Structure 1
Amino acid sequence: MLYGIGCDLCAIAHLEKSLTGPHAAAFVRRVYGETERAALGMDAPLPAGRSAAHRLASAAANFAAKEAFLKAAGTGLREPFSLCEIEAVRQESGAPAYRFSGKTADWVQAHRLTARLSLSHEGGMALAFCTLEQPET
């Protein structure tokens, strides 16, 4: 049974300002989980060229995934959720998936939810679409 759906659009250039500005380190710690930071290489400066553009697009898609989840949950960003506990990860196949931790994982489990994620980026924008489903009762 469908519990909720959410989508979000993130401008890559807007996120780039947050990732390169004076408060970038604090922003990264508050928003991205350990798995995301490692996968996106966020503990190192952005290289020039295509590699940086791909990392920025992926970071923007991950940010949009967090917002899409919060919309599907129907709560917005408030307790018990923390952005860094909502991670967009890639499966071995390359398909995106959610990984939850902390109070967010507890909430997902308590509501018996399965989260599905789709991501895309093109033309300076990143898009995420989330569905939350519960088993039929």
Structure 2
Amino acid sequence: MIWGVGIDLCDADRIEKSLAKPSFLNHVFAPAEQALFSALGEKRRAETAAANFAAKEAFLKAVGTGLGGFALCDLAVLRRESGAPYFALTGPAAAWAAEQGVTVHLSLTHERGLANAIVILEKP
């Protein structure tokens, strides 16, 4: 059963400017995400970071908490070997997901400087 849905759109140029600020980078992105970004070229770095940021906002919309719900760095968005994105939740976000018994589905896309994410929360 679908328990929650969230969607978000993010401008890669806006995120690219913010990535230059270490305080933003450390507040929003987990170390594993930062390592992912570092391995990419500059254009792909901004698009990937924007997609990850959109995923975090989409997750919070699906949960229904808004931006204050969980620390953004506890909502790490990583990639499987195949390239498929997934959430690696930690801290209170991981505890909440386990307590709720939800499965988190994530889809990302980006083109021409815009990144989009959709999150579906599923309960058995």
Unaligned runs of 5+ in 2: none
Residue aligned with 2:106, SS:
strand
Q: Partner amino acid for 1:61?
A: A
Runs of 4 or more consecutive aligned structure 1 residues displaced over 2 Å after TM superposition: none
Partner Cα separation in structure 1 for residue 107 and residue 98 of structure 2: 21
CA displacement at 1:19 relative to structure 2? 1.2
Larger Rg: 1
Pairwise CA RMSD of aligned residues? 1.3
Instruction: Say which of 52, 59, 62 aligns to 1:62.
Output: 52
CA distance in 1, matches of 2:56, 2:9: 11
The equivalent of 2:76 in structure 1 is: 87
Letter in 2 for 1:128: A
- Once the two structures are superposed, residues 50-85 of structure 1 have per-residue CA deviations (whole angstroms, 9 ceiling, x without a partner) of x20011100100000000000000111224x11000
State the distance in 2 between where 1:25 and 1:78 align.
21
Identity %: 47
| Distance of 2:36 and 2:2 partners within structure 1 | 30
Written as runs of structure 1 = structure 2, the 5 A alignment for 1:102-113 is 102-113=91-102
Q: TM-score, normalised by structure 1?
A: 0.87
Indicate whether 1:30 and 2:27 are aligned: yes
Query: TM-score of the superposition, structure 2-length normalised?
Result: 0.95
SS at match of 1:4: strand
Are positions 1:52 and 2:42 aligned together? Answer: yes
Residues paired across the two proteins, number: 124
